[in-house]
């Protein structure tokens, strides 16, 4: 077994993969594969209902919100959000904390005006700006809760004077938060929830229906809500595996228990990075992500040999994103603490070998 530190698609629990592979051959003993059953069958309706129920339960979603499993990835949400929420001639506010935030705000410009309230582009997004004002006349304020590429994470969500919209693609289900503070939350499944192919959207019903433009059915949240995420054929397998992962999370004690584990995993890894003279963390200390840990080497010439040592130990997916360099250890929910220990051991062994 490899130690999978890949950023996305990320690691899934081994028992989920085993159950999913069985369902590909024969789903619940009905003599059909999960890939063959009708999305209108009672079997699949049961899967989708359970997935929605688990999201509501695990995140304590209050009344007045709809939970959707859509397609098109988080990137489609970049466009769907302004399509549905930004009135023509209106303005939306964005916090620019990385490439994904930038892609989101670029899409909004097709629909209206965009005000970037603050940006950390000047430091290659190593921190999350905190000193800004959200204009009270904006249709909504968009943030990215965890910046997958740069390893920064919003530690505390500040209330906004307008509906708050968050891209939680890389940290949903990793920590508790108050859904009621947000008007729309979205996340591509492929980090902490399931395989690529479905995107979770949690939307407050009362923010919809306020723009005059005509919205094509597939891009309209209201159509998707009315269709119960089944306006067209849904991504059955991706939703099924997401449901299994949410069941796994519930059995582990839910999001609060997961958060405890994630805190401990991240603390051990950052401690080693801070202690080990060969390595240096990239993100500002107060904004360090507990999902994507980015670090570089004091001597970049040692990066290749370290990567080789890590690979020899079965560690995969730690090469940093090309825009940051160095290493990125994605330590999503399903990554066991034993994998963190293997990485730490490799770092210590390498430091011992390259002692000055």
Distance separating alpha carbons of residues 191 and 200, to the nearest angstrom: 12
User: 56 or 103: whose CB is closer to ligand PLP?
Assistant: 103
Q: Does 96 bind ligand PLP (CB under 6 A)?
A: no
Please check if 76 is assigned to a binding site: no
Query: Which residues within the stretch 62-91 sit at the binding site for ligand PLP (CB under 6 A)?
Result: 73-75
Instruction: Evaluate the omega torsion of the peptide bond into residue 85 and state whether it is cis, within 30 degrees of 0.
Output: no
Please check if 348 is assigned to a binding site: no
Query: Which residues within the stretch 111-150 sit at the binding site for ligand PLP (CB under 6 A)?
Result: 144, 148
Region of 158-166, 167-175, 311-319, 343-351 interacting with ligand PLP (CB under 6 A): 167-175
User: 73 or 325: whose CB is closer to ligand PLP?
Assistant: 73
| Pairing mode of beta strands 199-204, 65-70 | antiparallel
End-to-end CA distance of the chain: 34
User: 19 or 75: whose CB is closer to ligand PLP?
Assistant: 75
What residues are labeled active site? 100, 167, 191
For 86, 94, 208, 237, 262, the CA distances from 83, given in Å and listed in that order, are 6, 15, 11, 28, 35
Instruction: Give backbone dihedrals phi and psi of 232, rounded to 5 degrees, phi first.
Output: -125, -170
Please check if 40 is assigned to a binding site: yes
170, 192, 259, 289: residue in contact with ligand PLP (rule CB under 6 A): 170
- 169, 168, 192: which is closest to 178 by C-alpha? 168
Q: DSSP strand E in the chain: where? A: 3-4, 65-70, 91-96, 113-119, 141-144, 146-147, 152-153, 164-167, 184-188, 199-204, 279-281, 292-297, 315-316, 327-330
4, 5, 6, 8: residue in contact with ligand PLP (rule CB under 6 A): 8
Query: Which residues within the stretch 29-68 sit at the binding site for ligand PLP (CB under 6 A)?
Result: none
Distance separating alpha carbons of residues 174 and 10, to the nearest angstrom: 13
Q: Does 100 bind ligand PLP (CB under 6 A)?
A: yes
Binding-site entries: 40, 74-75, 100, 148, 167, 190, 232-233
Binding-site entries for pyridoxal 5'-phosphate: 74-75, 100, 148, 167, 190, 232-233
Binding site for ligand PLP (CB under 6 A): 8, 73-75, 100, 144, 148, 167, 169-170, 188
């Amino acid at each position: 077994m490899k130690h999978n530190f890949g950023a996305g698609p990320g690691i899934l629990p081994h028992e989920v993969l085993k159950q999913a592979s069985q369902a590909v051959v024969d789903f619940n003993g009905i003599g059909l594969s999960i890939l063959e059953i009708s999305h209108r069958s009672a079997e699949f309706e049961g899967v989708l209902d359970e997935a929605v129920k688990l999201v509501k339960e695990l995140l304590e979603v209050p009344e007045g919100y709809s939970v959707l499993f859509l397609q098109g990835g988080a990137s489609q949400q970049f466009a769907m959000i302004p399509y549905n929420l930004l009135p023509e001639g209106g303005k939306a506010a964005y916090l620019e904390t990385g490439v994904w935030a930038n892609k989101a705000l670029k899409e909004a410009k097709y629909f209206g005006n965009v005000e970037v309230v603050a940006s950390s582009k000047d430091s290659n997004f190593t921190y999350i700006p905190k000193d800004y004002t959200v204009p009270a006349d904006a249709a909504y304020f968009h943030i990215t809760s965890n910046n997958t590429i740069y390893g920064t994470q919003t530690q505390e969500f500040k209330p906004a004077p307008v509906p708050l919209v968050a891209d939680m693609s890389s940290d949903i289900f990793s920590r508790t938060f108050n859904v009621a503070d947000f008007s729309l939350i979205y996340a591509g499944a492929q980090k902490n929830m399931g395989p690529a192919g479905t995107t979770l959207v949690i939307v407050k019903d009362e923010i919809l229906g306020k723009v005059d433009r005509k919205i094509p059915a597939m891009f309209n949240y209201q159509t998707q809500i009315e269709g119960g995420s089944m306006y067209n054929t849904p991504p059955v397998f991706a939703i099924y595996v997401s449901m299994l992962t949410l069941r796994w999370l519930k059995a582990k004690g839910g999001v609060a228990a997961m958060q405890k584990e994630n805190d401990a995993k991240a603390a051990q890894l950052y401690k080693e990075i801070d202690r080990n003279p060969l390595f240096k963390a990239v993100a500002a200390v107060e904004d360090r992500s507990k999902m994507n840990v980015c670090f570089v080497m004091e001597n970049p010439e040692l990066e290749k040999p370290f990567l080789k040592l890590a690979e020899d130990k079965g560690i995969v997916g730690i090469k940093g994103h090309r825009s940051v360099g160095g290493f990125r250890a994605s330590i999503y929910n399903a990554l066991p603490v034993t994998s963190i220990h293997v990485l730490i051991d490799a770092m210590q062994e390498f430091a011992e070998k390259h002692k000055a």
